[in-house]
Amino acid sequence: MMPPILNPRVYIGLLALSAILWLPLALQSSFVYHLAIQVCVFAGLATAWNIVGGFAGQLSLGHAVFYGIGSYSAGLLVAKFGISPWIGMFAGAAVSSVVALLIAYPTLRLRGPFFSLATIAFLEVVRLLVTHFEGWTGGSAGLNVPLQIGLPWMIFREKWAYLLVAFGFFAVTLLVAWLIRRSRFGFYLIAVREREDAARAVGVNAVRAKIAAAVISAVLTSLIGSFHGMYLTFLEPSAAFSLELSIQIAMFALIGGLGTVAGPVVGTVLVLPVAELARGWLSAFGNGTHGFVYGMLLVFVVLFFPRGLVGHLSQQVLRLIDRLPNGHKAKAAEPARPAVQRIATSLGQPILKAEGLHKRFGGLKATDDVSLTLHEGEILGVIGPNGAGKTTVFNQLSGFIRPDQGTVTVRTGVDWSSPRSPETFARAGVGRTFQIVQPFAGLSVMENIMLGAFMHTRLRSEAEAVAREVAHLTDLTALLDTEARSLTVGGMKRLEVARALATRPRVLLLDEVLAGLNPSDVARAIEMIKRIRDSGVSVLMIEHLMQATMALSDRIVVINVGKVLREGKPADVVNDPAVIEAYLGKGYTHAQAA
């Protein structure tokens, strides 16, 4: 893969960004300087917001609280104590990080709009506090920043100096967002945004990732707010802690493309100058006419570019760039090699135990004293009629449901551990798939598999190498650059298996991995499962396709009405009258006897 610094897309992007600097210098217009500074500030704010709102998918509608904290912290320290805003902005960033933690820690453990509502509530509370303490903040009348000219005070006579500083803040924010997007942390955020359960199944601590994104976003927003407050030289609660400002920066990211690095910048560059010009040209028609421009642009993008401008146009732009000399070329296929070396283990030792599992949902007893054991090098089939409790048992074996009674233990080396959550099960060596496939649809096949590989490495290059090896094992090598949403059902099923295998599990739980496949995909999946077992991974599979289950399984466990009905060799289980009755009813048994 081409190093990022050699990619022509990088140079084209840097050239486009440099226009924010050279265009005002060429025109020498105060209004153009002001417009360029505003573009840098709001592009930086939108990029910072995009880390939590786009990458992590957590809608922060009161994000201006961090902007206001940053601007007031720097302004108050200058006005009251004569401390440079270059120091004050870090004090504001520290306060913002604490506030972000207070908001995110309780709310991001829940699913729903709680984080969004909490940010709005904090925004209003802080605005009222700033208005109330008039002796310190100036109250609703606002606070004038002392006009001390010079770099230490972040106040200049020349507009170009402001522009350089604003561009510096913007460039740092953009660099942080770019580094996050390419890192393991960025992959984790996108995984949590798209499918949190699937992310937890590959070892991602979803709560910790979301909280970290909220804190990083708050710190960057606060730093930019400190500079902008010094640039305006006047701080007012209704402007600094404004819900309108929060919505505005979120809208720039939405128009450009949520979850992309360039999206917030493109949205700001396209919308902000138009709105500012509309504010000047159309002000005679009524105050707030520029808001009409925002609204019309937003409606247009939502209707015709639902993935944002960057998300919609990126494929066409990439095709154009790839035609350039030294553009991105598809990597030649590497010679096939074994994805996983066979692990030398003494077969037959227990590796996963479930003992006395009980689980109730209200008055329904889903599992009733279920116990089973999986051995090394074994394929254990779990079968039973619909509604028997198989999926509930499966979810208890992977940490997604905690049993009311009983334990699930995993052998790690010579010791046994009792994981308590999906991510700790994954780190203990238990991988799983889902009955309804849960690919990360916006990512490529390569990136989906890399998410599993990141559990054991932080390096992107190592994760890519693991992804290629696992793709060979699961017949996905030819599809590595394909978006996951474009795969067939069979491809998605294999992709889930590949993602789980990339975590290097010793136990693989397969939940109806053959369901819905055509005969050729079934045959391919059966061979894949055999290869997985031969690589040293023990397999526990729930399956309704009886012929395949009987052919693959070393042992069968039958579950009916939440209990273990029968356990043994496939030939013994399939001929057991109790099993036949559970599947076909008493009438069939009586007819056979007659």
CATH of the domain at 535: 3.40.50.300
CA nearest 1: which of 469, 465, 499? Answer: 465
Q: How many CB atoms lie within 10 A of CB 592?
A: 11
CA nearest 451: which of 201, 111, 257, 213? Answer: 201
Judge whether 290 lies within some domain. Answer: no
Judge whether 326 lies within some domain. Answer: no
DSSP 348-408: T-EEEEEEEEEEEETTEEEEEEEEEEEETT-EEEEE--TTSSHHHHHHHHTTSS--SEEEE
Could you tell me if 224 and 364 lie in one domain? no
Pick the last residue of a domain from 241, 261, 281.
Answer: 241
Could you tell me if 57 and 179 lie in one domain? yes
Judge whether 5 lies within some domain. Answer: no
- Angle at 457 (CA atoms; ends 454, 463), nearest 5 degrees: 60
What pLDDT is recorded for position 331?
44
Inter-CA distances, 560 with 365, 496, 509, 585, Å:
12, 27, 19, 12
Pick the last residue of a domain from 191, 224, 241.
Answer: 241
Residue indicated by tokens 């105060």: 30
| pTM of the predicted structure, to 2 decimals | 0.87
Judge whether 250 lies within some domain. Answer: no
Q: How far apart are the C-alpha atoms of 37 and 40, rounded to whole Å?
A: 5
| Range of the structural domain that residue 550 is part of | 350-593
CA nearest 557: which of 22, 232, 107, 549? Answer: 549
Say if residues 247 and 61 touch (Cβ distance below 8 Å): yes
Pick the last residue of a domain from 241, 267, 302.
Answer: 241
Q: How many CB atoms lie within 10 A of CB 361?
A: 10
Judge whether 115 lies within some domain. Answer: yes
Joined together, the tokens standing for residue 308 give 């944002």
Sheet strands (E) in 471-590: 507-511, 538-542, 555-560, 563-568
CA nearest 237: which of 88, 100, 94, 129? Answer: 129
Judge whether 449 lies within some domain. Answer: yes
Rounded to a whole number, what is the distance in angstroms from the first to the last CA of the chain? Answer: 69
* Strand, helix or coil for residue 23: helix
Judge whether 284 lies within some domain. Answer: no
**217-240 burial, b for 16+ CB within 10 Å, e for fewer?**
bbbbbbbbbbbbbbbeeebbbebb
Digit-by-digit pLDDT tens for the chain (594 residues) are 455 555 565 666 667 777 777 777 778 788 889 999 999 999 999 999 999 999 999 999 999 999 999 999 999 999 989 999 999 999 999 999 999 999 999 999 888 889 999 999 999 999 999 999 888 888 888 889 888 888 999 999 888 999 999 999 999 999 999 999 999 999 999 999 999 999 999 999 999 999 999 999 999 999 999 999 999 999 999 999 999 899 999 999 999 888 899 899 999 998 888 877 777 666 555 566 666 777 777 788 778 777 777 766 665 554 444 444 444 444 434 433 443 444 444 457 899 999 999 999 988 899 999 999 999 999 999 998 888 889 999 999 999 999 999 999 999 878 899 999 999 999 999 999 998 899 998 899 999 999 999 999 999 999 999 999 999 999 999 999 998 999 999 999 999 999 999 999 999 999 999 988 888 889 999 999 999 999 899 999 998 888 888 889 999 999 998 899 989 998 888 888 888 887 766 554 444 444
Could you tell me if 233 and 355 lie in one domain? no
- Considering its fold, how many domains does the chain have in total? 2
Judge whether 333 lies within some domain. Answer: no
Joined together, the tokens standing for residue 225 give 């707010």
